[in-house]
């Protein structure tokens, strides 16, 4: 179990690559499907379909995103991580599935550095 706990930052890095890559891939496909134009309001409204399952997933995502963003800010300040605003910008520009795992990866590295000092 020590191997897992010592290397969990790599899991976060893998999630960042996977989540960010797929998020970006499907956003590009959506842009291509809309004649090469990205429409932010249409993107957001597409998650609020008349299907209750989709609404359930949308509310689940937004609740988790808000909680995770709050954690990112509070934890980043607590650990005195530099430039935590970058993770917020990456979250908006690429996706939450990219920005939050990247923050967790960098957080683990920061915690490791604090343990060795």
Q: What is the pLDDT of residue 4?
A: 63
- Selected residue with higher pLDDT from 4 and 69: 69
Summarize pLDDT for 63-73 with one digit per residue, the tens: 999 999 999 99
Angle at Cα 65 formed by Cα 3 and Cα 51, nearest 5°? 120
The region, left, alpha or beta by phi > 0 then psi within -120 to 50, assigned to residue 66 is alpha
Summarize pLDDT for 29-84 with one digit per residue, the tens: 888 888 888 777 777 777 777 678 878 888 888 899 999 999 999 999 999 999 99
Helix ranges (H only) for 34-84 are 40-45, 52-78
Q: Which residues of 53-89 are buried (b: 16+ CB within 10 A; e: fewer)?
A: eeeeeeeeeeeeeeebbeebeebbeeeebeebeebee
- The structure tokens listed for 81 are 């991580």
- Is the pLDDT at 1 greater than 70, yes or no? no
Q: Is residue 52 classed exposed, middle or buried when 0-12, 13-18 and 19+ CB atoms within 10 A define those classes?
A: exposed
Q: What is the pLDDT of residue 42?
A: 78
Per-domain residue ranges of the chain: 8-116
């Amino acid at each position: 179990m020590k191997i897992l706990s010592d290397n969990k930052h790599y899991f976060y890095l893998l999630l960042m690559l996977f989540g960010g890559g797929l998020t970006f891939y499907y956003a590009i496909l959506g842009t291509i499907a809309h004649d090469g134009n990205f429409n932010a309001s249409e993107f957001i409204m597409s998650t609020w379909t008349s299907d209750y399952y989709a609404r359930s997933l949308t509310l689940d995502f937004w609740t988790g995103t808000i909680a995770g963003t709050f954690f990112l800010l509070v934890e980043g300040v607590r650990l005195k991580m530099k430039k935590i605003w970058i993770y917020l910008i990456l979250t908006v520009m690429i996706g939450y599935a990219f920005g939050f795992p990247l923050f967790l990866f960098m957080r683990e590295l920061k915690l490791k550095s604090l343990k060795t000092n």
